[in-house]
Amino acid sequence: MRQIPVDTTGATLMVAQPPQLKMRDKKTGQVAVDTESGNSLMTVDVLFVMNGNAEVVSVTVAEPDISGDLATGTPVALTGLVARPWENEFNGQKRHGLSFRAVAVTSLAKVG
């Protein structure tokens, strides 16, 4: 699958929604897992602010690779962020977009 590296240099990144389990199948409650490690996958909604523009993106990351308290508003670093184009068909409708995956999401909040 094609992956496009995302440069976050100069961007302000903060948690918009705390981490939640990523569901593979919402009907059955099946949790998505990383195919290489077998770890559960999480999604973190991150506010991405750069050049006067702000957008919330959902970033997928393996559960063990989330560090620190990621409450809403917490500044974060996204290590190894990539965008992946996707396309599927659902009920006869073609859809496409970008999904985001990071190697790690780390809180930058000062402790103490």
Which is more confident, 67 or 112? 67
Average pLDDT value over all residues in the chain = 91
pLDDT for 83 beyond 60: yes
pTM: 0.86
Work out the pLDDT band at 68, boundaries 50, 70, 90. confident
Give the model's pLDDT for residue 35.
87
pLDDT for 92 beyond 80: yes
Give the model's pLDDT for residue 91.
84
Q: What is d(CA 29, CA 27) in angstroms, rounded to the nearest whole number?
A: 6
Give the model's pLDDT for residue 111.
63
Query: In this structure, which amino acid lies at residue 56?
Result: V
Q: Is the separation of the CB atoms in 79 and 106 below 8 Å?
A: yes
Two tokens, residue 18? 């705390």
For 35-51, b where at least 16 C-beta lie within 10 A, e where not — what string?
Answer: eeeeeebbbbebbbeee
pLDDT in tens, 40-67: 999 999 999 999 999 999 999 999 899 8
Residue tagged 């918009």 (tokens): 16
